Chains A and B, each alone.
Chain A
Amino acid sequence: MGKNDQPVVRMSGITKRFLDVTANQDVSFELHSGEICALLGENGAGKTTLMNILFGYYACDAGEIFIKGEKVNLSAPKDAISRGVGMIHQHFALVASQTVLENIIVGTASRKGIFLDLASARQALVRLQERFGLQIDPDARVWTLSVGEQQKVEILKALYRDVDILIMDEPTAVLAPAETTDLFNTLRSLVKEGRSVVFISHKLNEVMDISDRIVVLRAGEVVAESNTGETNARELANLMVGRELLESIEKTQLAPADPVLNIRGLNVLNDKKLAAITDLNLTVHQNEILGMAGISGNGQTELSEVLFGMRFPVDGAVQVNDRPLKFGSPAASIQSQMGRIPEDRIDTGLLMDLSVEENLILENHSSAAFQTYGLMKSQKIRNFCEDLIRAYSIKTAGRDATTKSLSGGNLQKVMLARELAGEPSLIIASQPTRGLDVGAMEYIHQRLVKERDRGAGILLISDDLDEIFALSDRIVVFYEGKVMGEAPGATASREQIGLWMSGVMA
């Protein structure tokens, strides 16, 4: 890797506080041209904050920033972009109703008089796509794209602005394995041209795979820095969490009993009115975790939405606990003794502006236990919520605290506490640990196993293969709305699952 003596980015003594919280404490960071530098750390370690400072999104309280040897004062992202620094956040900044091309040229458009010069912009875009293998229809509306495709649009947007220092915040959190491979190829071709990439992540294997150099942050400070070849995953894990970390889920062997979920001949359309799920048959038993692996965008979201009552299928039948499920009614799904953990906990699962208590009682506030004649029994509700906060060790200022003040892991605990409080016989967990740090992930995994041991049947929809392998008693692979293959969790081979996920029947 061509490292020059002169780093393209040098940050020194960076300190940033938010109210009482110190996000970065005297952090120094260097990035060289032509390298992929990983910023590794748990959620809340200060990785994103540090990069937001480099991107001009936050002003630091102390410290200096040099970009390409020049001391800079960044007061807005546009200052950073004009110096070639681009950042792609976890939540994309795309206009869903506009096309790929329109999203990419926004704010930069070349003009002919008062008209946009779309033709030459399109040519420039197509050239970029060919150069980096980022194939997306420039005229597709962004809302019709999968998350992985939207990320490509974001990368193209940065490249279109001549960004040569690209910061990617947890880019794989939303991607499936194959999409991740694609992304890594793109990143490699970027650095080959002398551009530099900062890769923010808490996934060790990916960091080992993609980076040239690793900087580990813990609690706002740099705790280690190393060339990737000179370290290993175990060492990094220790640095990152400050303790030995080895996820191994203790699981007793249980014989699956009666079916709790039975799906027969299910056909579902997606938002584009195209087939998302075709003739699906699936059964989940008591005492069983059925892991549904697959690249996201193959119908998993639509399947969970049908089960949650958020989407009508075209035809088919679903039985929960031997009773037919009424479609299109979240209330009916709740009634059927189904615990529902949606992949999108922020917009669908939780009421972020309401209190923790108001979220915990969402599904049973009108049950006889919590109201009579429409009057809420506040004492009963309070006890119920305080018990849950304790039982799930939810870290919050109190049951009255606004939900959005909680960290990602604690948000998911609120979600779990609410959904599992009624001891459901069926649990649909869709991407339950997406975007969570290792500690929270472990907690949630153990919870799910506990629920299985209690007797629940669990449909675990996940694109994290490690999670699928760690938890599943049985694995099915979902590809283009169909089950590609099925294997027992104990003996399934990664290679086989991987082939099925990419649509290869072997």
Chain B
Amino acid sequence: MIRFRIIKRKPLPGWAKIVIPIAAILATLILAAIPILLAGGHLWKSYYYLFHGALGTRYNLLETFVKASPLLLTGLAVAFAFRAKFWNIGAEGQLLAGALTATVLGVHLGSIPPVLVLPIVIIGGFLAGGLWASIPALLKTKLKVDDVVSTLLLNYVMIHIMGALLFGPLQQPGSSWPRSSAIVEAACYPILMPRSRFHLGIIISFVAMLIIWFINKKTTFGYQAKAVGTNIRAAHFGGINTTSVILWTALISGGLAGLAGVGELCALQYRLIMDISPGYGYSGIVIAMLGNLHPVGVLFSSLFFSVIIVGAQTMSRMTGVPTYIAEVIQGMALMVMLIFLLFTEYKIKVQRK
């Protein structure tokens, strides 16, 4: 009889941290062949158009960055919260809070000096997302309310607040659609590359990644958040103010998601609509896990996701494989990565008896 046992393995050398995600992505692409073939697609053609569509032309490459920006921000938001074991499933609602606030500010700030408008919009969006996230953080620290549930449910609260406002006070005068007026020009993110949509928000999200990396690695707050996430009792015993750490973590996490909302509004839509986010907040959870909660990991996983999302459009147009394949691949990527990560710590031993 053959038996399989799962046993611990020796710690892997440093290069494994790079090789394993790459191997996971390759394995995902191999596995993705199954649904592509089932959908009647031609395998090589499909993959060719998938990557060509995302990276093959200047415009498509820049579009991939446009798509990666909100994914990077929500991915960072989730990763930063999870590191302190604040289970923020609510990046979607925080993103909407950011977009909503940016709309209100962006529509009404026409009368102040134009240079001040964008900073106010960005800070406002950040704070709105952060404050929205600090509600479940307060509930968690003061009343021990489960943060998974409260962050998730607040997403729906925010969607309906937004809906009520878009059918009410925020609705564009004269419009019958649930959409706001356009923001003033000074509130729009500048386009940084001609003949593209490569905008300021992409730089902001990249800088945010560097800042989070720096906070995690170099600051006392980053250390405290890690300690709280590892063992909150021991962190408390060691004199760390765990309540304050969780609140600040929530504020920063929600703020990052809020920035994603500001970017979508001020760089792409210019007015608030109900489907301003196709679920970037939820994708952020997957991206954070895929990136192993590390800021650089989150950068690469958000790029991978945007390649798949952008490329799937071209693939679908050229081969007839539905764009839903992109979501299948995203799901597979997470599963494969989690399995690969498991095998960095454990191995299977075959025993013959």
Partners in one complex: yes
Binding site for B on A (CB under 8 A): 19, 59, 73, 75, 308, 310, 330-331, 333-334, 340, 342, 347-354, 358, 361-363, 365-366, 371, 374-376, 378
Interface residues in B228-249 by Cβ distance below 8 A to A read 230-231, 233-241
Q: B241–A366 contact, CB under 8 A?
A: no
Tell me the smallest distance from the CB of B235 to a CB of chain A, in Å.
Answer: 7
Q: A330–B236 contact, CB under 8 A?
A: yes
Interface residues in B133-166 by Cβ distance below 8 A to A read none
A352–B231 Cα distance when bound, in Å, is: 8
Q: Answer whether residue B219 sits at the interface, using C-beta atoms and an 8 A cutoff.
A: yes
Q: A349–B353 contact, CB under 8 A?
A: no
Q: A365–B220 contact, CB under 8 A?
A: yes
Q: A362–B219 contact, CB under 8 A?
A: no
Tell me the smallest distance from the CB of B165 to a CB of chain A, in Å.
Answer: 38
Interface residues on chain B, number (Cβ under 8 Å): 24
Q: A353–B351 contact, CB under 8 A?
A: no
Known: A374-B219, A374-B221. A351 touches B3 (CB 8 A): no
A-B contact pairs, 20 of them (CB 8 A): A75-B5, A330-B236, A330-B237, A331-B239, A340-B237, A348-B233, A348-B234, A349-B234, A351-B230, A351-B231, A352-B230, A353-B230, A362-B227, A362-B234, A362-B235, A362-B238, A365-B220, A365-B224, A374-B220, A376-B219
Interface residues in B193-231 by Cβ distance below 8 A to A read 218-221, 223-224, 226-227, 230-231
Across the interface, name the chain B residue whose C-beta is closest to A329.
Answer: B239
Interface residues in B1-55 by Cβ distance below 8 A to A read 3, 5, 10
Known: A358-B227, A362-B227. A348 touches B237 (CB 8 A): yes
Known: A59-B351, A371-B220, A374-B219. A363 touches B226 (CB 8 A): no
Across the interface, name the chain A residue whose C-beta is closest to B229.
Answer: A353
Q: A354–B230 contact, CB under 8 A?
A: yes
A334–B241 Cα distance when bound, in Å, is: 13
Q: A59–B220 contact, CB under 8 A?
A: no
A340–B239 Cα distance when bound, in Å, is: 12
Number of A-B contacts (CB under 8 A): 71
Cβ–Cβ < 8 Å partners of B236 in chain A: 310, 330
Known: A19-B10, A59-B5, A331-B241. A351 touches B219 (CB 8 A): no
A350–B238 Cα distance when bound, in Å, is: 9
Tell me the smallest distance from the CB of B105 to a CB of chain A, in Å.
Answer: 29
Tell me the smallest distance from the CB of A387 to a CB of chain B, in Å.
Answer: 20
Q: B218–A376 contact, CB under 8 A?
A: yes
A210–B3 Cα distance when bound, in Å, is: 40
Known: A347-B234, A348-B234. A358 touches B239 (CB 8 A): no
Q: A365–B231 contact, CB under 8 A?
A: no
Contact partner of A363 among B223, B238, B241, CB < 8 A?
A: B238
Q: B238–A354 contact, CB under 8 A?
A: no
Cβ–Cβ < 8 Å partners of A348 in chain B: 233-234, 237
A352–B226 Cα distance when bound, in Å, is: 12
A347–B233 Cα distance when bound, in Å, is: 7
Q: A75–B234 contact, CB under 8 A?
A: no
